Structure 1
Amino acid sequence: MACRISELVIDAADPDRLAAFWSEVLGYVELGREDDGSIEIGPPDAGFGGPQPTLVLSPSSDPRTGKLRVHIDVSPTDRDQDAELERLLALGARPVDVGQTGAESWYVLADPEGNEFCLLRPRLQPL
């Protein structure tokens, strides 16, 4: 067997704010907090080690420079893409231009700290 992604670690100026945002986006809950201010969120029924990776929001005051080299893609599981776009924008996501042509089947957004992610068309079933 090969490796599995167990956690994604995201540096955050405000881990609480980002944990709240991503918890709402993904339907995750807080799993734990570390003394360094890191917050781990994950699926409410599985937590760490389940089929989905957890997110660790790690405090950092380092400024971000340039486009991210890795980003998250999300797919709606219980509504169409346009309805999910409205929901994500209401949660605090914002559209980002990274050079799209306008013909893409996805939307490029940024979380409240400017981390890019893509909203794809529905392609997955709920777990």
Structure 2
Amino acid sequence: MACRITELVIDCRDPETLAEFWCAVLGYTVLERDDIGDIEIGPGGTELGEDGLRLVLSRSDDPRHGKLPLHFDVNATDRDQDEELQRLLDLGARTADVGQTGEESWHVLADPEGNEFCLLRRRVDPAASR
């Protein structure tokens, strides 16, 4: 039997702000808050191990050094790439420069704490994205 990734932990200064941002981006809900300020978000109504990756936003004041070795790629589910780009910017994302040429079919963005992610061109089925 193989393992499956069920949770991704992101160290951050402000779990509340990132939870609000990523819930809005991904259509997730807050699933749990612990006593030290960590927040777990994911598709609503799922148990751990069921469909959908959960994100744990873990409070940390450790300084971040340089570009992250891991990032999200997201695809729109109900609109084209340009409309989704505007929605993400309205939610608080900002454009990021990681050395792209401008000829890419994706947009590089950063969340409110500067964590890079890419908006890809393809539209995906909402049910398959959970």
For 2:64, the aligned partner's letter is R
Q: Distance in 1 between matches of 2:49 and 2:43?
A: 10
Contact 1:42 1:48 in 2 (8 A): no
Indicate the SS of the match to 1:18: helix
In structure 2, the residue matched to 1:89 is 89
- Tell me whether 12-21 or 46-55 shows the greater mean CA deviation: 46-55
Instruction: Report % sequence identity.
Output: 66
For 1:8, the aligned partner's letter is L
CA displacement at 1:5 relative to structure 2: 1.1
Q: Distance in 2 between matches of 1:86 and 1:56?
A: 26
- Number of aligned residue pairs: give it: 127
54 and 87 in structure 1: CA distance in 2 versus 1, 3 angstrom threshold: same
CA displacement at 1:47 relative to structure 2: 4.7
Moved >6 Å (runs of 4+): none
Query: Is 2:45 the partner of 1:42?
Result: no
Equivalence map 1:107-122=2 (5 Å): 107-122=107-122
For 1:61, the aligned partner's letter is D
Contact 2:77 2:125 in 1 (8 A): yes
Q: Given the two structures, how large is their TM-score scaled by the length of structure 1?
A: 0.96
Q: Distance in 2 between matches of 1:16 and 1:75?
A: 24
For 2:77, the aligned partner's letter is T
Q: Distance in 1 between matches of 2:107 and 2:120?
A: 7
CA displacement at 1:71 relative to structure 2: 0.3
Task: Please provide the CA RMSD for this pair.
Answer: 1.0
Q: Distance in 1 between matches of 2:45 and 2:81?
A: 25
Point out where structure 1 has 5 or more consecutive residues left out of the alignment. none
Equivalence map 1:20-59=2 (5 Å): 20-59=20-59
